């Protein structure tokens, strides 16, 4: 497993993570005879973006993804019809049916854990169990031998789960032995930087994100407005339905309507409520710089998509963002954070400080880019190379296929401490 560029918080943790990663690399050495065996039938039970990104969309001759339902699906339907919501517990707990158990070799979930007797793996973005990290019931499922692998999307997520497990020594060793890091795949969308159809008259910045305020869209708009007022030739593209949030920015529908009016009035802005993914990628391909100055972000898929279009990105340094967006491939805005990488935004004062830090950082960075646009190309080319090295879809598929085979082999990995 390639852990290039991953941050580690202390020497002991780095040594343990390196050991875990080396065990994962050894376990995934490609088996030359795999081609002669039938594909592994991998069950997935959701078609959400995360699952398609990391599991259902994987293409490899040795893997046959199969959509399956689970025994709790009718209950989730009833709960949603009755209460218009389903709790995280029921969203992220799986139980296979007898039919499902006969049609797949193993399950691979995103953020979910299982009661099933069929071997299973899970990829996660923050921590497990999803409904509560101190749930003894959820942790016991992760410790069971049926759970064969626990794959973090990032070093940040790995470190958070390791921190959780230190509070649960009874199961820590069994669960840690299954853990590893496997970032999501991302294919290039342009063969080279020269293929980008860029404007020569102005710099084009693009923000993509439904949750406009949580992802720093308001700050991007205000920073761009300051630059436009100073006479800089720029265009700001915003792809967002301007959804407010009560998690990080604590914004309302009134804030959304105010932002919609500001976007409509700004001559330098083109606002799209929504675009198909293919059109988003085409927009990024003709953009010079991407923007994701988030208050809160578990990973940052839109950073990968921008980089795949040769588009370097300005981000904050929350959670996993500095793992995928470093200074050689983009621009990073430091913000006040806690030990786990979350931006400090609990109180109104903290949110105002965070808002100002992001807006001022964006303004300074975008102004530097306007004054020295030649830096964009070198970062865009480096971003394309980084994707090839760290997010190759072919390598990702080979690693998964090898892990699936290992999980199903006699005496396959079942959480024994390395």
Let me know if residue 90 belongs to a domain.
yes
Q: How deeply is 122 buried, as exposed, middle or buried, from its count of CB atoms within 10 A (0-12, 13-18, 19+)?
A: buried
Number of structural domains (the chain) is 2
The answer to whether residues 173 and 259 belong to one domain is no
The answer to whether residues 177 and 254 belong to one domain is no
DSSP 8-state code for residue 106:
E
What pLDDT digit, counting tens, does each position of 137-150 carry? 999 999 999 999 99
The answer to whether residues 138 and 237 belong to one domain is no
Q: Is 172 helix (H, G, I), strand (E, B) or coil?
A: helix
pLDDT (average), residues 365-373: 97
What is the per-residue DSSP string for 250-319? ---HHHHHHHHHHHHH-TTEEEES---HHHHHHHHHT-SEEEE--S--SS-HHHHHHHHTT--EEEE--T
The answer to whether residues 152 and 28 belong to one domain is yes
Distance CA 121, CA 340 (A): 24
At 401 the pLDDT is 97
Residue among 341, 224, 226 at smallest CA distance from 289: 224
pLDDT (average), residues 207-211: 95
Let me know if residue 414 belongs to a domain.
no
Residue 328 in tokens: 């050689």
pLDDT at 180 over 80: yes
DSSP 8-state code for residue 52:
I
Q: Is 343 helix (H, G, I), strand (E, B) or coil?
A: strand
pLDDT (average), residues 32-41: 66
Residue 290 in tokens: 């991407």
Average model confidence (pLDDT) across the chain: 91
Let me know if residue 306 belongs to a domain.
yes
The answer to whether residues 338 and 297 belong to one domain is yes
Residue 47 in tokens: 């078609």
Q: In this structure, are strands 40-44 and 106-110 parallel, antiparallel, or unpaired? A: parallel
The answer to whether residues 89 and 227 belong to one domain is no
The answer to whether residues 146 and 203 belong to one domain is no
Q: What global pTM score does this model have?
A: 0.88
Let me know if residue 44 belongs to a domain.
yes
Q: Give alpha helix (H) positions in 38-93.
A: 49-51, 73-83, 88-91
Let me know if residue 335 belongs to a domain.
yes
pLDDT at 400 over 70: yes
What CATH number is given to the structural domain containing 380? Answer: 3.40.50.2000
The answer to whether residues 118 and 228 belong to one domain is no
The answer to whether residues 324 and 291 belong to one domain is yes
pLDDT at 223 over 90: yes
Let me know if residue 2 belongs to a domain.
no
Q: Which domain holds residue 278?
A: 193-390
Let me know if residue 416 belongs to a domain.
no
Q: How far is CA 351 from CA 213, 221, 250, 337, in A?
A: 12, 17, 9, 12
At 18 the pLDDT is 52
Indicate the pLDDT class of residue 410, thresholds 50, 70 and 90: confident
At 412 the pLDDT is 62
Q: How many helices (H) and strands (E) does the chain have?
A: 16, 14
Residue 302 in tokens: 């839109």
Strand order in the sheet with 179-181: 63-67, 40-44, 106-110, 120-124, 147-152, 179-181
The answer to whether residues 292 and 361 belong to one domain is yes
At 19 the pLDDT is 54
The answer to whether residues 227 and 202 belong to one domain is yes
Indicate the pLDDT class of residue 70, thresholds 50, 70 and 90: confident
What CATH number is given to the structural domain containing 115? Answer: 3.40.50
pLDDT at 31 over 70: no
Of 16 and 41, which is predicted with more confidence?
41
Let me know if residue 5 belongs to a domain.
no
The answer to whether residues 103 and 207 belong to one domain is no
Distance CA 346, CA 349 (A): 8
Half-sphere exposure of 272 (CA within 13 A, CB side): 15
């Amino acid at each position: 497993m390639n852990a290039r560029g991953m941050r580690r918080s202390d020497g002991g943790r780095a040594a343990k993570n390196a050991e875990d990663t080396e065990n994962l690399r050894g376990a995934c050495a490609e088996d030359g005879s795999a081609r002669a065996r039938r594909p592994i039938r991998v069950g997935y039970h959701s078609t959400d973006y995360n699952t398609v990104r990391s599991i259902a969309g994987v293409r490899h001759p040795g893997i046959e993804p199969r959509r399956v339902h689970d025994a709790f699906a009718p209950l989730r339907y009833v709960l949603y019809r009755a209460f218009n919501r389903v709790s995280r517990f029921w969203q992220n707990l799986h139980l296979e049916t007898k039919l499902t158990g006969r049609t797949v070799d193993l399950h691979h979930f995103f953020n979910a854990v299982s009661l099933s007797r069929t071997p299973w793996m899970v990829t996660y973005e923050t921590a497990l169990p999803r409904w509560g990290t101190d749930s003894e019931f959820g942790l016991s499922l992760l410790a069971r031998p049926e759970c064969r692998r626990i794959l973090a999307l990032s070093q940040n997520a790995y470190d958070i789960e390791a921190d959780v497990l230190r509070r649960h020594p009874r199961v820590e060793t069994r669960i840690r032995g299954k853990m590893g890091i496997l970032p999501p795949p991302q294919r290039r969308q342009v063969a080279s930087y020269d293929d980008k159809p860029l404007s020569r008259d102005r710099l084009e910045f693009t923000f993509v994100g439904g949750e406009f305020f949580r992802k720093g869209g308001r700050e991007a708009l205000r920073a761009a407005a300051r630059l436009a007022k100073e006479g800089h030739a720029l265009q700001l593209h915003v792809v967002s339905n301007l959804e407010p949030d009560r998690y990080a920015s604590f914004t309302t529908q009134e804030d959304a309507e105010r932002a919609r009016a500001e976007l409509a009035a700004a001559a330098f802005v083109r606002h799209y409520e929504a675009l198909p993914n293919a059109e988003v990628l085409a927009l990024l391909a003709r953009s010079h710089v991407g923007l994701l100055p988030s208050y809160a972000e578990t990973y940052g898929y839109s950073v990968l998509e921008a980089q795949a279009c040769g588009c370097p990105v300005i981000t904050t340094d929350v959670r996993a963002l500095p793992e995928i967006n470093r200074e050689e491939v983009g621009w990073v805005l430091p913000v006040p954070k806690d030990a786990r990488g979350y931006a400090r935004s609990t109180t109104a004062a903290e949110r105002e400080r965070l808002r100002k830090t992001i807006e001022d950082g964006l303004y300074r960075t975008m102004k530097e880019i306007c004054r020295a646009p030649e830096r964009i190309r070198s970062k865009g080319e480096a971003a394309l190379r980084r994707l090839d090295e760290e997010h190759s879809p072919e390598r990702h598929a080979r690693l998964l296929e090898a892990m699936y085979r290992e999980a199903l082999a006699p005496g396959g990995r079942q959480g024994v401490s390395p």
